[in-house]
Structure 1
């Protein structure tokens, strides 16, 4: 086993894992050693174990076809149907992950990092939106929409044809003053998209049980100098009829922010560890929801919205040109 401390926004993730898993995680988060934003100090411990837990649990709190959840005091055991396990000690923020499947181990440790990061930042007023952001001529372009709606395809079209920098892919973090923080995860590459002419610094693959096999590219050569930028304009991506860039309706603004900010649709999270039993966690979740609602109202009043509607991939390429023309004007 190898030991490594991964720091994101000042939060230290102490990881103990096999060399193969550590190599994958190092590549996942390699660009965060360049991120200087320190938002809070906290330590999280994640350990890959070689044996199932020896803890004895008697209280079953959740049962489903995919997994059962047991609890005892501050401990939680998530027992998956295929024999995989996650043991959580909420009192020390320690996670022990057991599996003979390295794909599962990598995915779970990766998602534990993003799940705990999101919850910790939520509680200090820094919230995440499922979306993509890029920088062009000192302007931040942010796009939100459902999974597989075309965010990564649009980003790659922009990178291919314009002097675009990658600010974030998949997650956008921002505070109550609409300050956005760079989040340089790897960029998702849609199936059959040709990136041979692009300057990505290495490729890898990850197998997600929900989304299948996904190819990812390291955006090191496309990162901007600025690590914080103000959110001034938000683009809502949707598939429809024709190709257009127009002002968003009130209903579009409300539904997109409610889904992808307040509720958190499509954000990488492990639901089994996000919630806890007891009244204290209820009030924590209530606080998070109210903080997100407050941010949603502020975004409504301060940010310009545009809806990008398109029917096929060719029209999405045309949209990239339209966006750059709008910026020029």
Structure 2
């Protein structure tokens, strides 16, 4: 059996962008221009998300409502509670900036592509995975900002009225426009999926460059050392392990079959890097963003590697090669 576990190529691109921002950060007028371009890129990203995401997929399979509610509960209830629990760690172990990043990570929606891919590889209910992952992303457009407002005041990252306006202009409206134009442009988007996917990634890399440039200029990275990054890695592994355990337990308590358990495990344990990075740039102040998205970037690679291994265990003899998704 061939089974590839490389570092995700998109993660390498993100790390390269962080390195570039550390050496050559955008400053002055250049930073203003890049910031405006990043805002346009974020709006474009969410327009594409709206264009691609079929509401019908989130409404199909309603007969499996217990499974879909369990996925939503894992994503928007279990994860945030675990994130809040990390606040019990002393500040010397988990500084406030990284704690805010952990909380933000925990309130994000699930991924779509990787959740469906791993469910398929593991031999799960792919149709149900499409429904659950789509519903998670549709709800996340509303629930993630609401949960940030509810949970993150204590982490110094509450939402002001001005931020709410930015969320509406850069996230909600482009997404809604994409949904409205989906009947006309959806087929075109499918035909050009590869090209639009590359544009997605370039837009996200631009957002990351701007965010980390602001962090470098403000001196925020002098507060981090290798030991804190090691602790952050352990926290990400612990979060993922806890959620995987909880989702398996939920599946057993609900009496779900193996194919539906796989859906709950893989859809309920993911967090979307593609949605999280642009959302963070809209919700948080510029100098905060780099530190806040650091846990998400690390968790992204951790979830891909662990879930790829887990999909192999579920597959039990499948000869498919795992290709790690970019999301």
Answer yes or no: same fold by TM over 0.5. no
Ranked by relative contact order (alpha carbons within 8 Å, sequence separation 6 or more), the top structure is 2
More strand by proportion, 1 or 2?
Answer: 1
**Quick check: which has more Rg, 1 or 2?**
1
TM-score of the aligned structures, taking structure 2 as reference length: 0.24
More helix by share: 2
